[in-house]
Every structure is written in C-alpha cells, then in structure tokens.
C-alpha cells in the first residue's frame, strides 16, 4: 500500500512540472530553429536568387507544443520586398525543413511556415501615434 502511494506521489510530481518544462523545451527548440535558419540564410545555402540577393533576419520562431509546427517570422533588411522574400522562402520550404531536421536531431522535423514579421511596422505606428501633437497635448507634454 505504502509503495503504491509513494509511486502515485512521484507521478503527480512529474505531471505538475511537465507543463513548465514543456514550455521551456518549446522555447529552446524554437530558438535553435531560429539559429539554424539564420545560419542557412547568412551562408546563402538556399539556391534562390531572391534569397541570395537579400539579407533576411529571422526574428522569431514560434513552435507548437508538440514541436511539429513552426511559424517562422522573417524581416528582409534594407527595405527589400518582403512579399517576394516570404514567397521565396515558401518555395524553398522543403530544403529548409530538411536542413533543420538534419541539424536539430528531433524525432519529427517541424513543418515550417514562413511569415513576414509585422512587429516593427506596429512599433512604428505606435511611435507615430505617441508623437502626434494631439496625443502629446493629452499626455501633458508641451
């Protein structure tokens, strides 16, 4: 009886910490995928004219909890056409997935979904709003 209760307490302890450990693992894997993709793009390993002519920054990778899906947010540098870069990345998804799988060493390779990162545009919009004379007046700034 005592052995069974002890085993049950161990199982409950494992289950209670698994959520936090899972989220840390998801973040770590996402960061590793971001580094791998950044390295591949910096070295120009994808044989694509659009990607080799543009510097692309991988700003964030959001992994699903089961690590099978990855949303990859990218931003082309120097004002390049974001839509063309995202389209080129989508065309070369199979290459990137294969390379990530090879370098990551997970049981399953995450399916990559490339998207343009709009956080910089949103930050610029908020900055413009805060610098608007009417808003500055309401905030008490002269």
Tell me the per-residue pLDDT of 21-30, one tens digit each, with 9 for 90 and over: 568 989 999 9
4-8, 53-57, 71-75, 105-109: least confident range: 4-8
Listed ranges 13-22, 62-71, 131-140; the one with the highest mean pLDDT = 62-71
Q: How far apart are CA 121 and CA 46, in angstroms?
A: 27
Superfamily for 2-117?
Answer: K homology (KH) domain (3.30.300.20)
- Per the model's pLDDT, the better-predicted residue between 141 and 113 turns out to be 113
What's the chain's Rg over C-alpha atoms?
22
Q: What is the pLDDT of residue 114?
A: 95
Confidence of residue 108 (pLDDT cuts 50, 70, 90): confident
Residue 20 confidence class, pLDDT cut points 50, 70, 90: low
Residue 95 has pLDDT above 80, yes or no: yes
Spatial CB neighbours of 36, under 8 Å, sequence gap ≥ 6? 99, 100, 103, 104
- Closest by CA position to 57, among listed 70, 32, 76: 76
More confident of the two residues 16 and 101: 101
pLDDT class of 130 with cuts at 50, 70, 90: confident
Give 108's Cβ-side CA count (13 Å radius). 11
Rounded to whole angstroms, the maximal C-alpha distance in the chain is 75
All structural domains of the chain with their residue ranges:
2-117
Q: Cα–Cα distance between 124 and 3 in angstroms, integer? A: 61
């Amino acid at each position: 009886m005592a052995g069974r209760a002890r085993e049950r307490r161990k199982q409950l302890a494992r289950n209670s910490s698994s959520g936090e450990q899972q989220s840390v693992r998801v973040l770590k894997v996402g960061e590793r995928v971001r580094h791998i993709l950044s390295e591949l793009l910096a070295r120009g390993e994808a044989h694509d004219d659009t990607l080799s002519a543009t510097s692309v920054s991988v700003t964030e990778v959001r992994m699903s909890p089961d690590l099978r899906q990855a949303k990859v947010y990218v931003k082309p540098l120097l004002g390049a056409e974001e839509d063309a870069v995202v389209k080129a990345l989508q065309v070369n998804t199979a290459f990137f997935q294969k390379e990530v799988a090879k370098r990551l060493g997970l049981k399953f390779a995450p399916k990559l979904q490339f998207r343009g990162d709009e956080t910089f545009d949103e930050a610029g919009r908020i900055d413009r709003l805060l610098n608007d004379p009417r808003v500055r007046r309401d905030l008490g700034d002269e």
